[in-house]
Structure 1
Amino acid sequence: MYPHIQTVESSPALPDETDVAVIGGGIIGVATAWALARTGVRVTLLEKGVIAGEQSSRNWGWCRTMGRDEREIPLAMASLARWPELAAALSEDIGFKRTGILYACRNEAELTQQREWLARARHYGVSSRLLDSAELARYMPGVDPGAFVGALYTPDDGRAEPDVVAPAMARSAMRLGATLLQQCAVRGLETRAGRVHAVVTERGRVRTQAVVLAGGAWSSLFCRHLGIRLPQLKVLGSVMRTAPMPGGPDAALGTSGFSFRKRADGGYTISHRGGSLAPIVPDSFRYLRDFLPMMRTSREEFRLRLDARLWQEAWHHRRWSDDGVSPFERERVLDPVPSARVLKEATRQIGEAVPFFRDLEITQRWGGLIDVTPDAVPVIDAIDTLPGFHLATGFSGHGFGTAPGAGQLMADLVTGNTPLVDPTPYRFSRFAEADPTP
């Protein structure tokens, strides 16, 4: 497990009733609870393990607008604008800095791809611009001048510390009146007159008229228990960090083969951009038709892998009753083993392209399971077939950076306030509208 997550003390007791119950204590669930609590809504956050125990503390820590799917750009822009407000409101140092992020291109084809993205994104007001190889060397001293032909650079993008942000938001939400329970899995929902009436937890039931499922990689399984089909798969990301390395680059950089960003402790978080592994599990077959288009266009980004996860999830997929032990209690925290091969490849490539990283002292390696949708765009929506039930999931590795906006948008939809951004691109019904090719 990622060992540096700040601890959060749970509330003393489960309430009998709440206005909104949020399932999942990752960054999206916490951001939603925080946004609701700020408006005076009685909100109860329920987490089966610990706050930020899974991908929310294991991601790269990038806060970016650059390279987003065009449907995500408004949400990313709104989130980037809210990060400074969030940092000030929490009264804790979450490490947010606008240091800039670069996508370095190894050839003209990659540079053309970034140029085309910029042409589509420019009217949203992004600060991105293209750099040639000489400009890249000025912004990123120490880069091998022959390794890249140019880059896409976004000076407004930045970074924050994943192991700090969600716990800090959770503590702030509690100060605002939110109730927070850890080691308290939600087993199911009760309905009355066709709408949500209560959540059933391992510690008892809580009456509520509104539920937000922000369960990350667990969301599809929970939805299936309710008879709702949510096409979603898990992808393994492998990450490592170094000891403090004085004098290194402040901006973050990603390219085919590796990525890095400076940490608040002076070390670097390093990963393999494009080195994600997709474990073959029962859902791989259940949602094969949904994911075929992604598999055809993203073969270099997602590599299939057969491992023990297949048997673990086969066990999870058995039905359970709301008064019995659920899969969420059998496996409190997803803590996958990182891929040594992927990290070795990233270490080699970063040393070749950026000599500063040639002699790395790696102090830790970890893995995280990312919740991915067929179009890699999240679901932030109310579910019409079950009034009172809402989804905020499927962020496909983008949840940390977009959390300030996503949490506010979900809170707006629950309360009926004017949405922060147009929620249409994140509608749940788009999966039913799609027609995957067999």
Structure 2
Amino acid sequence: MTPFPISEQTSVRFSDPLPAEADVVVIGGGVIGVCTALFLARAGQSVVLLEKGRIAGEQSSRNWGWIRQQGRDPDELPIMVEANQHWRNLATQTNRDIGLTQGGVTYLADNDAQMARYADWLPVAQAQGVDTRLLTAAETRALLPGTGKSYAGALHTASDMRAEPWVAVPALAEIAARAGAQIREGCAVRCLDLAAGRVAGVVTEAGRIATSEVVLAGGAWSSLFLRNHGIALPQLSVRATVAKTTDLPAVAGGGVADNRIAFRHRADGGYTLAPGGFHELFLGWDALRALPKFLTQLRADPFGTRFLPTAPEGYPDAWGTARRWSGDAPSPFENQRVLNPRPNTAKVRDLKRKFVMLFPQLPHFDISHAWAGMIDTMPDVVPVVDRVSALPGLTLGTGMSGHGFGIGPAMGRILADMVMGNPTGHDLTRFRFNRFTDGTPMRLGPAL
């Protein structure tokens, strides 16, 4: 199995030579970029996928592995329903077991007020034919036998799934390569090459590729890439800590979360643990610029984010990271090939303590690995999926706000059709780029 997490030390798998030209260049080798390249290649487009570090090296291999419909924004949910079907189909086309399992997702409720919030989301699920339902306190106890805590009930979606992200996303890249996509790791795109105000190519550290269409799926790096071209995107990158236990018996079949801890059983026998609703924001110039756009979110959850005064050197919003550069010199993307943030060790210790309290009957276990990832988040907690009118030829798919792994295959299909000028099959008004500047009131996605 691939060493986890994926990092600069992970062996290069994809090293295709750069062509002189392509129909489309995709920037970013996370799940969104990989799936976009996959669907473009299947549509007969000559597509090049370029990743500065490693495929799935950042948040796409560091997430919880949940493939969830439950709790989605109403405008995201139809796309997520489509993604579920893509996952089932793609899992049969890989050369490896990606751990795709239908175990459901369960949100536990401490009290009746939380149950009422969950009940408010049920009509959203019902409108899309999703099998979400409320569980009683007795049904919740039966779902989690041996738990040391009583819950008022739960929200449960049996059709939700999970997979092992550090295996799944490279496996999807292998499918894309077999479909004809050219993929190159360790090759940063420094900037766009513009002619008469529109995209004419990309400038990489290994040379120029002529193209009239570029998809930017750069995750936590998207805002920095755009700023170099004079485009402001109010996107923040927050650190999320995750841990893995040593082998334990299964106490729950799917993904489970309450206000304090989220967990799911893994294909390798341990559990993935994460703090419930907690992230850390490294302050920097872009964070300060974007902060006014995030006030609605911060007021709604004032204690969900811890602010840290400075990011490590080379991070996208570190105080010393360059905001402007040219294509004929190394860029910030070459200085930091893979974002590999240190986990919050206090949170890791706390995760073990909380899991023991929740399941006191479990045998002794240790935390075998801990890691962190940088989540690209937007002020309203839903992504930007749109053409960039200020730079014709550029399409943006970013800000998945921690929701990207599960929804990735459908977002990739949508971005591919958007680039080709085909109908996308979904109403994407909610995800338009200019919603932060056209006076639209901020509407947060459901905090479930």
TM-score after normalising by structure 1? 0.95
Q: Note if 1:202 corresponds to 2:205.
A: yes
Alignment match, 2:381: 376
Alignment match, 2:295: 292
RMSD between aligned residues? 1.8
The one-letter code sitting in structure 1 at the alignment partner of 2:103 is T
Q: Note if 1:100 corresponds to 2:123.
A: no
Is the 8 Å Cα contact of residues 377 and 396 (structure 1) preserved in structure 2? Answer: yes
Is the 8 Å Cα contact of residues 147 and 353 (structure 1) preserved in structure 2? Answer: no
Is the 8 Å Cα contact of residues 352 and 358 (structure 1) preserved in structure 2? Answer: no
The secondary structure found in structure 2 opposite 1:355 is: coil
User: Which whole-Å CA distance do the structure 1 matches of 2:150 and 2:279 have between them?
Assistant: 23
Structure 1 residues 388, 311: closer, same or farther in 2, change over 3 A? closer
Alignment match, 1:185: 188
The secondary structure found in structure 2 opposite 1:196 is: strand
Aligned pair partner of 2:430 in 398, 418, 425: 425
Structure 1 residues 307, 190: closer, same or farther in 2, change over 3 A? closer
User: Which whole-Å CA distance do the structure 2 matches of 1:124 and 1:31 have between them?
Assistant: 23
The secondary structure found in structure 2 opposite 1:390 is: strand
Aligned counterparts, 1:140-289, within 5 A: 140-144=144-148, 146-289=149-292
Alignment match, 2:396: 391
Alignment match, 2:445: none
Alignment match, 2:368: 363
Identity of aligned pairs, percent? Answer: 45
Aligned counterparts, 1:27-42, within 5 A: 27-42=31-46
Q: Per-residue CA shift, 1:210-259, capped at 9, x if unaligned?
A: 00000000000000111111110011100000122134322220111101
Q: Per-residue CA shift, 1:245-302, capped at 9, x if unaligned?
A: 1343222201111011111111111111112112222212111111111111122322
Post-superposition offset of 1:429: 1.4
User: Which whole-Å CA distance do the structure 2 matches of 1:436 and 1:330 have between them?
Assistant: 38
User: Which whole-Å CA distance do the structure 1 matches of 2:192 and 2:182 have between them?
Assistant: 19
User: Which whole-Å CA distance do the structure 2 matches of 1:434 and 1:92 have between them?
Assistant: 47
Post-superposition offset of 1:436: 7.4
Q: Per-residue CA shift, 1:22-70, capped at 9, x if unaligned?
A: 0000111101111111111110001100111111000000000101122
User: Which whole-Å CA distance do the structure 2 matches of 1:7 and 1:169 have between them?
Assistant: 17
**Farther-moved stretch of structure 1 (115-124 vs 370-379):** 115-124
The secondary structure found in structure 1 opposite 2:375 is: strand
Q: Note if 1:301 corresponds to 2:324.
A: no
User: Which whole-Å CA distance do the structure 2 matches of 1:127 and 1:14 have between them?
Assistant: 46
Q: Note if 1:405 corresponds to 2:405.
A: no
The secondary structure found in structure 2 opposite 1:381 is: strand
Post-superposition offset of 1:311: 8.2
Alignment match, 1:354: 359
Post-superposition offset of 1:74: 1.2
User: Which whole-Å CA distance do the structure 1 matches of 2:68 and 2:47 have between them?
Assistant: 29
User: Which whole-Å CA distance do the structure 1 matches of 2:198 and 2:305 have between them?
Assistant: 38
Is the 8 Å Cα contact of residues 8 and 171 (structure 1) preserved in structure 2? Answer: no
Structure 1 residues 357, 435: closer, same or farther in 2, change over 3 A? farther
**Farther-moved stretch of structure 1 (21-30 vs 315-324):** 315-324
Q: Per-residue CA shift, 1:130-153, capped at 9, x if unaligned?
A: 001110111222223x43111000
Is the 8 Å Cα contact of residues 6 and 56 (structure 2) preserved in structure 1? Answer: no
User: Which whole-Å CA distance do the structure 1 matches of 2:44 and 2:16 have between them?
Assistant: 20
Post-superposition offset of 1:8: 5.2
Q: Per-residue CA shift, 1:279-328, capped at 9, x if unaligned?
A: 22221211111111111112232222224448851221342111111000
User: Which whole-Å CA distance do the structure 1 matches of 2:113 and 2:104 have between them?
Assistant: 23
User: Which whole-Å CA distance do the structure 2 matches of 1:212 and 1:33 have between them?
Assistant: 9
User: Which whole-Å CA distance do the structure 2 matches of 1:197 and 1:370 have between them?
Assistant: 30
**Farther-moved stretch of structure 1 (122-131 vs 148-157):** 122-131
Q: Note if 1:80 corresponds to 2:88.
A: no
**Farther-moved stretch of structure 1 (162-171 vs 276-285):** 276-285
Is the 8 Å Cα contact of residues 6 and 58 (structure 2) preserved in structure 1? Answer: no
Aligned counterparts, 1:11-90, within 5 A: 11-90=15-94
Q: Per-residue CA shift, 1:394-423, capped at 9, x if unaligned?
A: 000000010111100101101122213222
Post-superposition offset of 1:367: 0.6
Mind listing any 5+ residue stretches in structure 2 that lack a counterpart? 443-448
Aligned pair partner of 1:329 in 334, 348, 355: 334
Is the 8 Å Cα contact of residues 289 and 436 (structure 1) preserved in structure 2? Answer: no
TM-score after normalising by structure 2? 0.93
Q: Note if 1:122 corresponds to 2:120.
A: no
Structure 1 residues 434, 386: closer, same or farther in 2, change over 3 A? same
Is the 8 Å Cα contact of residues 293 and 436 (structure 1) preserved in structure 2? Answer: no
